[in-house]
Each structure stands twice: as structure tokens, then as C-alpha cells.
Amino acid sequence: MKEILRRLLRFLMTPIRRRYRQRNGMENTCQRKEIPNEILLGLAREMIEEGHSATISVKGYSMRPFLENQRDKVKLEPCIELKKLDAVLAEISPGHYVLHRVIAVNGQDVTLMGDGNVRGTEQCRISDVAGVVTEYIRPNRIIMASDKRLIRRIRIWQRLLPIRRYLLFVYKAVI
């Protein structure tokens, strides 16, 4: 009898749970198929080099708090001019791509660091940059990369590098 009641309750609550997950960006209504990064990002790079834009889902925690794992998407476009604080998709070694923020540009050399990283940087050449992020796509809204409020938050976050470890600890506990 308990089992029958449990199944009935689960059956009745399923639409409510599904709606809650959809509203909060926890569940995608379409089927999700995962492709290995080296294949997907290689194809995205080819599309961007041809002059098209590419939208990819974010995977990983290195860009917290601005991008969340499997919740957010980014729109990538060809890189015309690379500036400090741009988020870029770059190939740091053959077949290994990262979506990180530019912290320095010295001639043809680019230094990258994830917003969620407390230390450690990556080095690449400008030619290794596949594309630059132009839009941050969240479940409820789209934020342009040129948004002044976003840029101000990114600058503040960069200055908080010495205490970033503690801020990320609190952020992870809250989220």
C-alpha cells in the first residue's frame, strides 16, 4: 500500500517538479547530447574562422561567478581586436581549449586566467584565440559583453584576486 501511494504521489508531483526545474534553469526541455570538447570546440573554431558566430554551453567552474557550469551559454564571434578583460575561447595546447578572461596582451602573447581561479594562468598566442565572447546567455536573460555594469563587476572582481578564494567559498556555499 505504501508503495502504491508513493508512486501515485510521485506521478502527481512530476509536472510541478518539472516546471520548477525549467523556471530555475535546472532542466532543459530538449534532449541533451554531450560531445567531447576537442571535437565540439574544434568545430566551433572552424565556424568562427569562417566568419560565423557559435553558441556553446559552458562546462566547468573556472569562470565562476560570471558563468555557471551547464546553466549558461556564451555566444562567440571572430576576434577583431583583443582587449584586456575580454572572455575568449583559446586553444592553449593542441586539442585543449579554455574559455577564460584575458588579463594581459604583450605583442602576440596573451595571458589568460579564469574568473574562478585563484592562481595559475595560461599562455597562448593571439593566433590561438578562436573567438571572443559577445553575449552571456542565462536561462532568463541575455547579457551583452559590452554591458557597462558587467564590465564594472569584472574589473572589481579582478581587483579582489587576493581574497577571491574566500569569496568563491562563500559563493559555492550559497549556490
For the four alpha carbons of 145, 149, 151 and 153, in that order, the dihedral sign comes to negative
Specify the pLDDT at position 12: 72
DSSP at 119: S
**Do 61 and 69 meet the contact criterion of CB atoms below 8 Å apart?**
yes
User: Is the pLDDT at 22 greater than 80, yes or no?
Assistant: no
pTM: 0.74
- Which has the higher per-residue pLDDT, 175 or 168? 168
Specify the pLDDT at position 6: 66
The Cα diameter of the chain in Å comes to 73
All three cell numbers of 16? 510541478
CA distance 45 to 127: 12
Q: What is the pLDDT of residues 99-143, one digit of tens each?
A: 999 999 998 899 999 988 888 899 999 988 989 999 999 888 999
**Do 154 and 101 meet the contact criterion of CB atoms below 8 Å apart?**
yes
